[in-house]
Amino acid sequence: MRFPVLVVAVLLLLQACFTAAESFALGSLSERVAVPNSPSEVLESQGLTTFLKAVNQTGLGPLFEGINDNFTIFAPTNEAFQDLNNVSTIFANSGTLETLILYQVVPGALTTSDIVSQFEKSGVGTLNSANNLEILVFVRPNGTILLGTDEASIVTANLSAGNSVVQVIDRVLVPPVTNFLLGPTVIPSAPSAPTAADTGVSTTSISSSLPQTTFA
């Protein structure tokens, strides 16, 4: 009777191995299926509470909650806001604040290497913000990126947020707008934004949600 006992033991051992392999496979599968984070979740996880507070104070919150749009969000640290000139005046005027926030956002998801390859030859150039203002970009010969006239540095790079990328920066980008502190002038009869058909951009993208503003 020793032979069948051995067979049963081997079979039990094999079964245990398969069960272990199966649960191992299931475990690693669930680890691989990560839920994408929205930009606002990423900002929260980075402790960027002042920027989030600014976003919440305007009507722009929904733009930071989608995972399908693709933007680059240059998200200033809390310290960067402390260093910002006239910060209380800016927060007191929602139009000014909205102009400021949209200026930290660039349509299209850019990693640092995308920015470097776009500007390394010339060393300097501009990106267009979500409110269609130019952001000065410098790429030093060693690959260091500096943004805006105050030369903000990227302190935490390439945080993926849905289809967007968050680049944490150490200075707030100040919009190049005359009388910026007075806020944008809303022109009631502004020409309508390009439609999805014109641009090929999905109707849920940031461009369709942007306010029709111009600057004094």
Among 15, 19, 49, 149, binds ligand NAG (CB under 6 A): 49
**3-state SS assignment for residue 59:** coil
Q: Binding to ligand NAG (CB under 6 A): which residues in 72-111?
A: 85-86, 89, 107-108, 111
In angstroms, rounded to a whole number, what is the distance separating the alpha carbons of residues 131 and 210?
Answer: 8
Among 56, 117, 128, 212, binds ligand NAG (CB under 6 A): 56
Among 144, 149, 179, 203, binds ligand NAG (CB under 6 A): 144
Q: Binding to ligand NAG (CB under 6 A): which residues in 11-40?
A: none
State in angstroms the smallest separation of the CB of 149 from ligand NAG: 15
Who's near 37: CB < 8 A, 6+ residues apart? 45, 67, 160, 161, 162
Q: Residue 90's closest CA among 181, 172, 175?
A: 181
Q: Which is nearer to ligand NAG, 61 or 194 (CB)?
A: 61
Cβ proximity of 39 and 71 under 8 Å: yes
Q: What is the DSSP letter of 181?
A: G
Cα first-last separation, the chain: 97
- Give one word for 162, left, alpha or beta, with left for phi > 0 and alpha for psi -120 to 50: left
Who's near 92: CB < 8 A, 6+ residues apart? none
For the chain, the C-alpha Rg in angstroms (whole number) is 25
Q: Which is nearer to ligand NAG, 23 or 185 (CB)?
A: 185
Among 7, 9, 27, 140, binds ligand NAG (CB under 6 A): 140
In angstroms, rounded to a whole number, what is the distance separating the alpha carbons of residues 39 and 37?
Answer: 6
- Determine, following the binding rule CB under 6 A, whether residue 128 of this chain makes contact with ligand NAG: no
State in angstroms the smallest separation of the CB of 192 from ligand NAG: 18
Among 58, 70, 96, 129, binds ligand NAG (CB under 6 A): 70
Report residue 102: phi and psi, to 5°: -65, -25
Tell me the window of 31-39, 50-58, 96-104, 127-135 that interacts with ligand NAG (CB under 6 A).
50-58
State in angstroms the smallest separation of the CB of 91 from ligand NAG: 11
By CB under 6 A, name the binding residues for ligand NAG.
49, 52-53, 56, 61, 70, 85-86, 89, 107-108, 111-113, 140, 142, 144, 157-158, 163, 181, 201
